[in-house]
Amino acid sequence: METKREFLKKLGLLTVGGMVGGAMAPAAASNAKSNLFAPKKIVGLQLYSLGRELTEDVPNGLKKVVEIGYTNAEAAGYREGKIYNYEVPEFKKVAEDAGLKVTGSHVNPPVRKYTKENMGEIADFWKKAAEDHAKLGVNTLVQPGMPQIENHDDAAIVCEVFNKAGEIAKDAGIKWGYHNHSMEFQRVVKEEDKAKQQNRWMPVGDVIYDLMLNGTDPKLVFFEMDVYWTVMGQNDPIEYFEKYAGRFPVLHIKDRSVLGQSGMMNFETIFKKAYENGLDEYFVELEGIRSGKTQFEGVKECFEYLNNAPFVK
């Protein structure tokens, strides 16, 4: 029987740093930061990372993002046709004035439970969202919130809705995708298979994330893998890159806190395989700062880590 500790130890050979090579050790990270001559790379930031530090003063906040070194950004403030309370053309100008290119956006529809009855409502939402984001000029429109999935029928409806959203976005010249957390790695079990469940270390049923990947049209739906949440769901990003090659053109690069400081994430291996599979873009996401830093200070350290990392192009 494999314990959680044993699982994470095994995973360290692939995607978790630990004492096995791959993750940048603190001393190496320090040395990398001292490389003042590292060329500036194209690094994107998910603006959700900044929270109130951004929303209290969006124009100056976006300027600070550019001053740090980020070139691209993914928005996460679309509400009622506005982005961070700005009309779309106005927000676009604010970003352009700051020198920042907004290439993606996170958007959630107004409902979590998808049914045959509300599919039209959800489609109408995506039509409006796609129209607004076409004006903004983004490449990607991504749903970061997981719909309610309790069984295989729910999963099938969700995939149908995702395909429709992808079709709508494609008509607007935008790629549509889905961003995971850890819940997608839970399983749904058919009634006839429930008796086969022996213990939690020998699960039965189908992984929700796999149902999403298998049930959506690759021409309409891509997946923006959050590599940290994939590991937190006790799964290996590399295995998914290999099993579903080409489905992950965009990534969220995330760690427990500031990138490269936890020893949990083998970003070198992740980037290498992602590039092999056709990585188009990635965005830094930073949530819980654990050392008293501001969010801006944290995303600055994240940029420095990636800009100095020899495995990041």
DSSP string, 24-59: PPHHHHHHHHT-TTPPP---EEEGGGGTHHHHTSHH
- The token duo for 212 is 């999403």
- Domain chopping of the chain, boundaries: 4-308
Q: How confident is the model at residue 23 (pLDDT cuts 50, 70, 90)?
A: very low
- The CATH H-level superfamily of 4-308 is Divalent-metal-dependent TIM barrel enzymes (3.20.20.150)
Q: Whole-angstrom Cα distance, residue 309 to residue 266?
A: 12
The single residue listed with the structure tokens 């092999």 is 276
Model pTM score? 0.87
* pLDDT above 70: residue 25: no
Cβ 69 vs Cβ 39: under 8 Å: no
Give the tens place of pLDDT for each residue, 235-285: 999 999 999 999 999 999 999 999 999 999 999 999 999 999 999 999 999
Question: Angle at the Cα of 281 (from 161 to 286), degrees rounded to 5?
Answer: 85
CB atoms within 10 A of CB 96: 13
Mean predicted confidence (pLDDT) in 78-96? 97
Cβ 32 vs Cβ 312: under 8 Å: no
* pLDDT above 50: residue 42: yes
At 78, give phi and psi (nearest 5°).
Answer: -85, 120
Q: Whole-angstrom Cα distance, residue 254 to residue 285?
A: 5
Q: How confident is the model at residue 6 (pLDDT cuts 50, 70, 90)?
A: low
List of E strands, 139-242: 140-143, 175-179, 187-188, 206-207, 221-226
- Cα 155 from chain centroid (whole Å): 20
Of 221, 255, 263, nearest in space to 29 by CA? 263
Q: Whole-angstrom Cα distance, residue 93 to residue 61?
A: 14
What pLDDT is recorded for position 78?
97
Give the tens place of pLDDT for each residue, 167-188: 999 999 999 999 999 999 999 9
What pLDDT is recorded for position 38?
54
